[in-house]
Amino acid sequence: MATERQRGERASLALLELLVATQAHGSISAAARALGISQPTASNGLRALERRLGLALLARTPRGARLTAAGAAVAAWAGEVVAASDRFEDAVTALGSGARERLRVAASLTVAEYLAPRWLAALADDPGRGVAADVELAVRNSRDVMAALLREDADLGFVEGPGVRRGLRSRVLADDELVVVVAPTHPWARRRSVGAAALVDGGLVVREEGSGTRDVLARALAAAGVALPEHLPTLGSTAAVKAAVAHGGAVAVVSALAVADDVARGALVRVPVVGLDLRRRLRMVWRDGAALSPAARRLADIATGGRAGLSAS
């Protein structure tokens, strides 16, 4: 029978966190930057962890190092240990201070209206984590969300555009799709499909500049060889766009999340578009190198279903 490990034989939490960061960031150098240590220190620490565990955690090549299969498995287990340690520290801090944290969240319209409410409800109904926060949710388009983060006017952001600005890090939350919708009385409601060129000439209304929905549409049209006209009716909210479609005979491209109920009850009709890829990804974003607060980390865990991996951020 194997002898029981003594407490002093346990792998250090710092080395486990280093391995988790290496997996999360894709390289030893990136992990070192995230943790604020030098690359030689990080490399030596990982070698020490390998000796301690008796496992080859990294395959080292002239092009860099990558986790072995054993390293990936150990990193997954280590992530649970690091996350548990974070929860312990957060809970103890909350018990000691009794103070409520201020959490500033900025989210694009689609996320703010259809996803964030249940995340924030879960955060509020989570006393066992030791996280108490007063949350401020600012609803902005994706460009303004990223600008707010870079100005340090927000702690955590959620966007729906195709790109992320320099100075920010991101994590994919979910796949989303933009869909073309018209009123049931519109001539297109009875068509099997329309083309990309017909879409821009068919009474299209769009969101404002900086909207993730508009950016995705413009890029999809460009990929299909069609330019988004400069002078189209521009509306600043999804609700306004849907109203223009339902009552004004317009055509719109909006998130499938935003019109699911309308389509289900027959208030709007989806129209397939040939040759246009309107898929996109919803992302969580935060400042590169920022030390996220306990409430921000917990909200990130909720939004990603526990896959945030932000303990080293």
pLDDT, tens digit (0-9, with 9 covering 90-100), for 10-66: 788 888 888 988 888 888 888 888 888 898 998 898 999 989 888 899 888 877 788
Question: DSSP code of 202?
Answer: S
Closest CA to 13 of 81, 101, 91, 114: 81
Q: Which residues make Cβ contacts (< 8 Å) with residue 300, sequence separation at least 6?
A: 156, 171, 284, 286, 292, 308, 310
pTM: 0.62
Mean pLDDT value of segment 264-274: 93
Residue with tokens 């990982």: 46
Q: Tell me: pLDDT of 311 over 50.
A: no
Fill in the amino acid letter for 194. V
φ, ψ at 60 (rounded to 5°) = -95, 130
Residues 6+ apart with CB under 8 A from 98: none
Give residue 236's Cα distance to chain centre: 23
State the Cα–Cα distance between residues 31 and 313, nearest whole angstrom.
Answer: 10
Domains and CATH numbers, the chain: 7-95 (1.10.10.10), 99-174+281-303 (3.40.190.10), 175-280 (3.40.190.290)
**CB of 214 closer than 8 Å to CB of 206:** yes
